[in-house]
Structure 1
Amino acid sequence: MAVRVFHRDEPDLMMPIISSDARLIVWPGVGAEVANMNYVVLEPGEQNVPHIHAESEDTIFIIEGKGSVRDLTNGARLEFEAGDAVHVPAGVEHAVCADRDSRIVSVGGPCPPDRHLLRLLGVE
């Protein structure tokens, strides 16, 4: 295995269940064993479908914008802005929301990769 470079505009897989512009950049389908990195854009008013990563921790770094993350397991809503990192423990139902009049751009994703999510996308 050698070092590789991937570009945001040439995603290997799109993830419409996360957002209308969610791109899976690094994942097992391109040779990663435990790494996973998504590039996600949420337009104002858009949010993820609430979901759980049963066996993965989800880390989301906010590059642009401000919004909130809903922790549905614990009944909380936390606001974030550019420069913040959101950490979601395994098994916590959550949704990222562009609910503060701002477009959100983020990178991150569940690690290890969420095999259930990959199956929902028709791959693995």
Structure 2
Amino acid sequence: MIVKSLEDIKGSRDHVDDKNWESRRFLLEKDRMGFSLHDTVIRAGTESVFWYKYHQEAVYCIEGEGEIEDLANGKRYEIKAGTMYALDGHEKHCLRAKTDMRMVCVFNPPCTGRETHDEEGAYPRPSEGTRV
């Protein structure tokens, strides 16, 4: 059984802080669950382009408001507490935060824990043996 608290994660190696967001990573590849689970805060007033070429992501907003734009077709969706979106087609997207947004994120294959976004907004290709 794995039990962790947010206080366990804050300030640890599993807490990744970027200028637009911070990600507190509860479950990672090393936990061998087949997915990773992150508590992420997107900072108010920021705009971030993400493109998970090698991962699928599901996101559930539990606080705040903003919007997501599918950059392939320009379609925009309002995001607020209680909204979920899933990037089942590896969509390149722009996330705009009107207020601080707290998100619960699940990645498949699981993240290792130290990933940051490259110039395209993507995480690195997972190691062999992980699955999408």
Q: Identify if the C-alpha distance between structure 1 residues 114 and 91 changes in structure 2 by more than 3 Å, giving closer, same or farther.
A: farther
SS at match of 1:34: coil
Which 4+ runs in 1 deviate beyond 4 A? 119-122
Q: For 1:37, give the aligned amino acid.
A: L
SS at match of 1:41: strand
- State the partner residue of 2:14: 13
- Specify every segment of 5 or more residues in structure 1 that has no aligned partner in the other structure, as ranges: none
C-alpha distance in 1 between matches for 2:111 and 2:73: 21
1:90-105 mapped onto 2 (5 Å cutoff): 90-99=89-98, 102-105=99-102
One of 105, 113, 120 as aligned partner of 1:108: 105
- State the partner residue of 2:26: 25
C-alpha distance in 2 between matches for 1:55 and 1:37: 16
SS at match of 1:9: helix
Q: Give percent identity, aligned residues only.
A: 18
Displacement of 1:114? 4.9
Q: CA RMSD in A?
A: 2.8
SS at match of 1:10: helix
TM-score, scaled relative to structure 1: 0.75
Displacement of 1:46? 2.0
C-alpha distance in 1 between matches for 2:15 and 2:71: 25
Cα deviation code 1:42-91 (max 9, x no counterpart): 2220233x122223221110111111112112322211110111111242
- Specify every segment of 5 or more residues in structure 2 that has no aligned partner in the other structure, as ranges: 118-122, 128-132
C-alpha distance in 1 between matches for 2:43 and 2:55: 26
TM-score, scaled relative to structure 2: 0.71
SS at match of 1:55: coil
Cα deviation code 1:79-110 (max 9, x no counterpart): 111011111124211232213xx221111132
SS at match of 1:62: strand
C-alpha distance in 2 between matches for 1:51 and 1:109: 15
C-alpha distance in 1 between matches for 2:86 and 2:77: 11
Alignment check: 8 A CA contact 1:55 1:114 kept: no
